[in-house]
Amino acid sequence: MSFPDIRPRRLRRTPAIRRLVEETRLAPAELILPLFLKEGISEPRPISSLPGTVQHTRESLLKAAHEAVSAGVGGLMLYGVPDNANKDETGSAGLDPEGILNVGLRDLRREFGDDTVVMGDVCIDEFTSHGHCGVLAADGSVDNDATLAIYADMAVAQAEAGAHMVGPSGMMDGQIGVIRKALDKAGHQDIGILAYSAKYAGAFYGPFREAVESTLQGDRRQYQQDPPNLREALREVDLDVAEGADIVMVKPALAYLDVIAAIRQRVDVPVAAYQVSGEYAMVEAAAEKGWIDRERVILESLTSIKRAGAQIVLTYWASEVARMLR
Ligand code: PBG
């Protein structure tokens, strides 16, 4: 028996051949740009641990959103950063129709109509004086069920402000079901839910805490997931899909590619991943030192996240990458 001469390298020989057999291809429409809107500032404020990103004014928010949309970015995820004086125990500024987050959602929807997908973060950590994602019980723990009612109202307020989709990120048990019911009851059956289903209590959110001026003391380990656990993520995703999640998300992304892959196998709803602030900051810092090729590492990390099975990626590089891909 003679063998054919099998040589995998034939398919790597020229850029054109490699392009032809490429299995994973990034597209701008699958990227979502997270944006921060800060209350009461007159100039955009750079976020030092997220070089290249800023806390926006209402004006600069629209400008950045236009850049993203015209580059082909698929959607916008808005975070509100209230004035410190407007933080309280229950995060009430997050629900206020005149609160900074709802004001920003209204601005975006008015500006873009249905030309992009406008999304809001449903979580109160930016709005609470203690920085936790829920309200506190007498013993200082985060009270799951008391928080659910707040999330329900917050989601309805965002739908009313014009969000196409809401993104519950607080990891309270039952949050998706409660939000789905509240949206339906208020006549918002068509507003979707992007569920932060498997969100890990890791160390990759550091720069985000600066971005939203978090007041958190301690950590979120009693509600976000423990990094060693994969099966627990599958359970969270099953619950979220059963409760009505339209899209499920894994967060962070690069350190959790196995979780993304397992969830992709498990469910048929779209799977998203969040390339979080720490992932971004590590690349920017190493690139600034001249230790890595910044653009190639950005594209390689996003390609890996997509290859693992995420169809949608939230990334602070969304606009830049969308332009690179053009
Ligand atoms: C909670 C929330 C966080 C992030 C997104 N939504 C912070 C946290 O859980 O502590 C982190 C995103 C990032 O690090 O880029 N509202």
Q: What does 73-102 look like in DSSP terms, one character per residue?
A: --EEEEEEE--GGG-BTT-GGGT-TTSHHH
Q: To test ligand 1's pocket by mutation, which of 77, 205, 250, 313 has the most ligand atoms within 8 angstroms of CB?
A: 205
Name the residue among 117, 290, 156, 148 with its Cα closest to residue 223: 148
Specify the pLDDT at position 2. Answer: 73
- CA of 205 from ligand 1 middle (Å) equals 6
Count other C-beta atoms under 10 Å from residue 249's C-beta: 29
250, 239 in Cβ contact below 8 A? no
Specify the pLDDT at position 3. Answer: 82
Token match 């423990």: residue?
A: 226
- CA of 214 from ligand 1 middle (Å) equals 10
146, 101 in Cβ contact below 8 A? no
Name every residue whose Cβ is closer than 8 Å to that of residue 5 and which is 6 or more positions away in sequence. none
CA–CA gap between residue 185 and residue 15 (Å, rounded): 54
* pLDDT tens by residue, 73-120: 999 999 999 999 999 999 999 999 999 999 999 999 999 999 999 999
Ranges of residues in the chain with a pLDDT under 50 are none
* pLDDT tens by residue, 297-318: 999 999 999 999 999 999 999 9
Specify the pLDDT at position 302. Answer: 98
Specify the pLDDT at position 1. Answer: 61
Residue 168, beta-bridge partner list: 122
Q: How far is CA 24 from CA 33, 202, 210, 294, 311, in A?
A: 21, 28, 34, 20, 11
Among protein residues, the one with the nearest Cα to ligand 1's atom 14 is 205
